[in-house]
């Protein structure tokens, strides 16, 4: 029992210092909650950015299709504008999402995430797409249509209060698809903010980099993608 508590403590400390792990080696369902303390404290009203992570129900790949990820980004931008929150970085993975954003001017961060998750869940469950055969089917996989929820109930919130942490979290966000071996280079995963920091190209979700990031527009953070390698923010530490 003591050893189990120690293991959870170590994993939690790693999460706080390195960002949320991919949990690829952890069992479904309870794995994400293992890294989520029951009495997790959230600090708002300080002007910090927030590194947010939330997962699909039971860590299932409910965002595993192009259609699902595109729909998520569309709704994310709608909610971001409505709540007047500044998005600094993001990545949509098949089974979870990472966001780096400011606290919204309209409402709270918790409300923003609640509205986002509700809208995506309703849209995915109700949206129908046309198959090659011409028949309509749910964008949400039919085999999972009976799930009680689309999302895990809770979310991970880490206050980002320094330029070093901003670089660290953006690095983690943009290299996540590469670390998970979904692609070989961040530019091959269009469901992230990498293209903005690589070439200034705005995607579906408007990116508003911090002043710290703007001062580094000619530095490694905005490396030219034509060089054929992913920009590593860790080199700036």
Please state, in angstroms and rounded to a whole number, the distance separating the CA atoms of residues 153 and 209.
29
Structural domains of the chain sorted by starting position, each given as residue range(s) with its CATH number in brackets: 2-9+26-236 (3.30.70.1290)
Task: Identify whether the C-beta of residue 86 lies closer than 8 Å to the C-beta of residue 121.
Answer: no
Selected residue with higher pLDDT from 146 and 176: 176
For residue 36, the model assigns a pLDDT of 47
For residue 125, the model assigns a pLDDT of 78
pLDDT per residue as tens digits for the range 167-191: 999 999 999 999 999 999 999 999 9
The b/e string for 135-160 (b: 16+ C-beta within 10 A; e otherwise) is eeeebbbeebeebeebbbeebbbbeb
For residue 41, the model assigns a pLDDT of 54
- Own/partner pairs for 3-7, CB < 8 Å, 24+ apart? none
Mean pLDDT of 210-219: 50
Mean pLDDT of 55-59: 93
Please state, in angstroms and rounded to a whole number, the distance separating the CA atoms of residues 210 and 61.
31
For residue 193, the model assigns a pLDDT of 97
What's the predicted TM-score (pTM) here? 0.69
- For residue 220, pLDDT over 50 is answered with no
pLDDT band at residue 210 under the 50/70/90 scheme: confident
For residue 127, the model assigns a pLDDT of 57
For residue 27, the model assigns a pLDDT of 37
Selected residue with higher pLDDT from 233 and 52: 52
Selected residue with higher pLDDT from 227 and 194: 194
Q: In a 10 Å sphere around its CB, with 0-12 CB exposed, 13-18 middle and 19+ buried, how is residue 118 labelled? A: middle
* CA angle in degrees (0–180, nearest 5) for 118-166-227: 105
pLDDT band at residue 95 under the 50/70/90 scheme: very high
For residue 221, the model assigns a pLDDT of 41
Closest CA to 102 of 177, 211, 17, 191: 211
Please state, in angstroms and rounded to a whole number, the distance separating the CA atoms of residues 18 and 172.
9
Selected residue with higher pLDDT from 63 and 22: 63
């Amino acid at each position: 029992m003591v050893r189990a508590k120690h293991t959870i403590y170590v994993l939690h400390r790693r999460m706080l210092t390195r960002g949320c792990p991919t949990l690829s080696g952890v069992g479904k369902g309870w794995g994400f909650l293992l890294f989520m303390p029951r009495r997790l404290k959230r600090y708002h009203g300080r002007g910090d950015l927030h590194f947010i992570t939330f997962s699909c129900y039971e860590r299932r790949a409910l965002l595993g299709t192009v259609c699902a990820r595109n729909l998520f980004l569309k709704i994310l931008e709608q909610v971001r504008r409505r709540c007047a929150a500044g998005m600094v970085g993001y990545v949509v993975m098949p089974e979870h999402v990472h966001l780096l954003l400011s606290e919204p001017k309209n409402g709270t961060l918790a409300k923003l995430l609640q509205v986002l998750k509700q809208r995506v869940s309703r849209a995915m469950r109700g949206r129908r797409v046309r198959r090659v055969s011409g028949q309509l089917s749910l964008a949400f996989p039919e085999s999972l249509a009976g799930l009680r929820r689309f999302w895990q109930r809770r979310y991970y919130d880490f206050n980002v209060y320094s330029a070093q942490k901003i670089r660290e979290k953006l690095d983690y966000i943009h290299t996540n698809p590469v670390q998970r071996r979904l692609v070989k280079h961040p530019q091959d995963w269009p469901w992230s903010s990498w293209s903005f920091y690589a070439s200034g190209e705005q995607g579906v979700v408007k990116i508003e980099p911090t002043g710290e990031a703007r001062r580094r527009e000619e530095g490694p953070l905005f490396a030219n993608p034509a060089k054929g390698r992913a920009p590593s923010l860790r080199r700036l530490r």
